[in-house]
C-alpha cells in the first residue's frame, strides 16, 4: 500500500512538471533527490544557476568548494542568497561559520563586485499574506522568533539565552510591525498558551518548522508550510524576471526549494541542465 501511494504521488509530481506549477509538499515528500541539487537554465542572453544546498555552517563542507567552483565557472552578473542580508565577512571560513552558504555568497559577491540581494520576499509582505491565510499576529510573531532558536543551536552548538532572545524579539518587532510578544517573559507566556507541549522556548525542536508533515506536531509546521509556498512563488517570479532581462543569475537556496520550484521554472525558462 505504501509503495502504491508513493508511486501515485510520484505521478502527481510528474503532472506538476507538465503543468508548470510548484510541487505540493505531498508531491515533494514522495520524491527522492540528491543534495546538492543544482540546475542551470538558459534563455536568450540570460541564464540561471540555481544551487540547492543542505544548509551548513562548516567551512570544510564539500558544498562550499563546489559553490566557489561553480561561481567562477558561471561568471554571474547578479546573485541572490537565502536568509536575508548578512554582512560580507573577510574570509570564506568566517563567512560560512557565521552565516552559512548565504555568507559564502555574500563573500564571493563582494570579492568579485557582483550585485547581490536577498532572495526572500519582504518580511512585511509575508506577514500580510499570512494574516490573509488566517493566522493571528501572535502566532506569526512566535513563528518567526522561535524559528531562530534551533538555527542558533545548530550554528553555535549552544542554546539561545534570554539576552539573545531579547535581541531577536526587538528585530522581529520592528521588521514585522507586530507588537507582542515583545519580551522573553511575554514570549514564554505565549508559548505556554499556544504551544503547551513545549517545556521551554529554548528547547523548541527544528522538527516543529518542517513544512512536510502528515500530522503536524505544532501550528508552526502549518505556518512554515504556508510561508514556504509564499517564498517559492516569490522566488520563481524574481528569478524568471531577472533571467529574461538578460542577467546571469547565481542563486543559492535549500535543495528542497529548488526541487519544489523546478516545474514552475521549467515552464518559464525551458528545460534545465542538471549539474548535480
pLDDT, position 193: 96
pLDDT, position 19: 58
Q: What is the rounded distance in angstroms from the CA atom of residue 27 to the CA atom of residue 10?
A: 6
pLDDT, position 31: 87
pLDDT, position 8: 40
Alpha-carbon torsion, ordered 7, 49, 109, 174, to 10 deg: -40
- DSSP letter for each residue of 16-67: HHHHT-PPPHHHHHT----SSEEEEEEETTEEEEEEEE-----TTSHHHHHH
- DSSP letter for each residue of 175-235: HH----S-SHHHHHHHHHHH-TT-S-GGG--GGGG-S--SS-SSHHHHHHHHHHHHHHHHH
pLDDT, position 15: 52
Domain ranges of the chain: 1-32, 123-228
117 - beta bridge partners?
Answer: 80
Per-residue 3-state assignment (H helix, E strand, C coil) for 65-90: HHHHHHHHHHCCCEEEECCCCCCCCC
Q: What is the rounded distance in angstroms from the CA atom of residue 239 to the CA atom of residue 237?
A: 6
Q: What is the rounded distance in angstroms from the CA atom of residue 211 to the CA atom of residue 223?
A: 8
pLDDT, position 41: 98
* Sequential pLDDT tens for the chain (276 residues): 433 333 443 444 455 555 579 999 889 888 889 999 999 999 999 999 999 999 999 999 999 999 999 999 999 999 999 988 999 999 999 999 999 999 999 999 999 999 999 999 999 999 999 999 999 999 999 999 999 999 999 888 999 999 999 999 999 999 999 998 999 999 999 999 999 999 999 999 999 999 888 788 899 999 999 999 999 999 999 999 999 999 999 999 999 999 999 999 999 999 999 997
Amino acid at each position: 500500500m505504501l509503495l502504491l501511494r508513493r508511486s501515485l504521488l510520484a505521478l502527481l509530481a510528474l503532472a506538476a512538471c507538465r503543468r508548470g506549477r510548484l510541487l505540493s509538499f505531498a508531491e515533494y515528500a514522495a520524491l527522492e533527490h540528491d543534495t546538492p541539487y543544482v540546475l542551470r537554465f538558459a534563455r536568450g542572453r540570460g541564464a540561471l544557476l540555481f544551487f540547492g544546498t543542505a544548509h551548513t555552517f562548516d567551512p570544510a563542507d564539500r558544498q562550499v568548494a563546489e559553490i566557489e567552483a561553480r561561481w567562477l565557472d558561471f561568471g554571474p552578473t547578479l546573485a541572490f542568497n537565502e536568509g536575508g542580508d548578512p554582512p560580507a565577512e573577510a574570509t570564506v571560513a568566517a563567512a560560512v561559520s557565521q552565516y552559512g552558504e548565504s555568507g559564502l555568497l555574500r563573500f564571493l559577491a563582494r570579492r568579485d563586485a557582483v550585485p547581490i540581494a536577498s532572495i526572500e520576499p519582504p518580511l512585511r509582505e509575508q506577514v500580510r499574506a499570512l494574516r490573509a491565510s488566517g493566522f493571528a499576529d501572535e502566532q506569526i510573531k512566535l513563528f518567526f522568533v522561535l524559528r531562530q532558536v534551533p538555527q542558533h543551536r545548530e550554528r553555535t552548538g549552544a542554546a539561545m539565552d534570554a539576552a539573545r532572545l531579547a535581541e531577536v524579539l526587538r528585530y522581529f518587532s520592528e521588521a514585522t510591525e507586530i507588537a507582542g510578544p515583545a519580551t522573553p517573559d511575554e514570549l514564554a507566556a505565549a508559548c505556554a498558551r499556544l504551544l503547551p507541549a513545549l517545556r521551554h522556548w529554548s528547547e523548541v525542536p527544528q522538527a516543529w518548522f518542517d513544512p512536510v508533515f502528515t500530522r503536524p506536531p505544532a501550528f508552526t509546521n502549518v505556518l512554515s508550510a504556508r510561508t514556504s509556498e509564499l517564498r517559492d512563488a516569490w522566488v520563481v517570479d524574481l528569478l524568471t524576471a531577472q533571467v529574461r532581462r538578460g542577467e546571469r543569475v547565481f542563486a543559492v537556496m535549500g535543495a528542497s526549494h529548488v526541487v519544489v520550484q523546478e516545474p514552475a521554472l521549467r515552464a518559464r525558462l525551458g528545460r534545465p541542465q542538471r549539474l548535480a
